[in-house]
Structure 1
């Protein structure tokens, strides 16, 4: 079973709400029980819905957990119209890991798939944040929920003075060739280059250049992309070179890199440069 103790075993005062739309609100988890509830949501989405195969201990517990949960912050979306305690109201979650925290512990999760060290070494004065384990219950996969997740990420980034967001974006299935259109579109149109270049680890690297650029219908390619990756691209994100097959989760992963300075101006205006668009 996951060990959620020490500071997380105690409530950390009153939860600070980062944003609210109607009955939905976003904030960080403040107790071990809330983190456990987020792990349950992840299990329901990744295992029960998507068929992921987690380690035996996690499968027995009915929770998606790993060692990173103890050092990450957990962004939550709650539906306050649901009766019960906050743990009963969690409908979506994101896992956030700051560079300073990662460096004091076991590094970043995505380093098991992508060679991110050279990227960070080229930007020694920038603070990186990894986003991961994003999931939302089916009934809440709406524009409002996505907006609140981004509101929470943006407010968190501002609070901690972060400069770059990155993380794995996943396409369903373990055969990259099934996503030839989407992966080729990403390769030809959004590839991170120069100072932002980053690649999949050599032994895991799967080619994304599966179709010539002139054969790609951009509209169809965008429709074939998962909403999360499409949302990153709208904000101004770039994609690393090479996909990685994650057999445990049954996905084909790409690395998304989003420097804060690259975020589209219209989105900064929408959420507010001070993250006050949906703030309470």
Structure 2
């Protein structure tokens, strides 16, 4: 019982740290970032996820207007909210290593064989289900999400972050294959590579299509993340998913200073 109380108090401290230490305003509309504290706030994130994933990726998420799975109950949900309208305009969900241990897996393990980074499990936060409302993709909302994640990791003492960056397969996969070709200089060393359970057959696709890396991928790379291998094909969301790994000790010095790690 004492261990459970300690873990609950730790999660409460993380929620308060993210809210209190993150910027309350950004350029343009007044935005704030915090962790969801109620089921109603989590539901707001799930509705935003549904709208983005169904409209932009063509994901088949049913008809109830909510994107949810069994991992949601074990995750903290980061929200960016327009403080003038009250609307949730960005979200990221965070699976702390303590809760991943309760689940006995990361979400990413549904898509990848991850034996090589097993040694990092106790110090690794997994993030996912990232989305930002189209009208707020000017960088401010994304930066607030990253600021919230950084505060979460800093106050929790976590050393590594993993997460998938998705690319739509509506064009048949050629853009995703071309992006993988672009990302080859950023491949992780062999000891940190993962292997897709349902791989995208990049060798059968064009790899010379001009593609601007999605904002999420560019954000990971600016921070100093590496790509952990070939993308997985997610038929449920109709995406190619790239596994990214960011280690605090290899973070870009510019962002390490910005987020208070050095």
Residue in structure 1 matched with residue 90 of structure 2 by the alignment? 92
Q: Deviations over 1:149-200 (max 9, x none)?
A: 11001000001111110111111116333333211121x2011113322222
1:209 CA drift (Å): 6.4
Distance, in Å, in 1 between the alignment partners of 2:54 and 2:44 is 15
Q: Give the TM-score taking structure 1 as reference length.
A: 0.79
Contact 2:57-2:239 at 8 Å conserved across structures = no
1:249 to 231, 237, 246: 237
Q: Deviations over 1:125-152 (max 9, x none)?
A: x501111000011111111111101100
- In structure 2, the CA distance between the partners of 1:128 and 1:208, relative to structure 1 (3 Å rule), is farther
Distance, in Å, in 1 between the alignment partners of 2:234 and 2:68 is 16
Structure 1: runs of 5 or more not aligned: 1-7, 83-87, 275-280
Instruction: Tell me how many residue pairs correspond in the alignment.
Output: 244
Distance, in Å, in 2 between the alignment partners of 1:30 and 1:117 is 33
Asked if residue 269 in structure 1 is aligned to residue 250 in structure 2, the reply is: no
1:106 CA drift (Å): 4.4
Aligned-residue CA RMSD (Å): 2.6
Q: Give the TM-score taking structure 2 as reference length.
A: 0.84
- In structure 2, the CA distance between the partners of 1:210 and 1:226, relative to structure 1 (3 Å rule), is farther
Q: Deviations over 1:58-113 (max 9, x none)?
A: x232100111110000000011011xxxxx42111001001221111242111011
Residue in structure 1 matched with residue 109 of structure 2 by the alignment? 111
**Aligned counterparts, 1:14-93, within 5 A:** 16-17=19-20, 18-22=22-26, 23-54=30-61, 59-82=62-85, 88-93=86-91
1:206 CA drift (Å): 3.0
Contact 1:207-1:242 at 8 Å conserved across structures = no
Contact 1:80-1:89 at 8 Å conserved across structures = yes
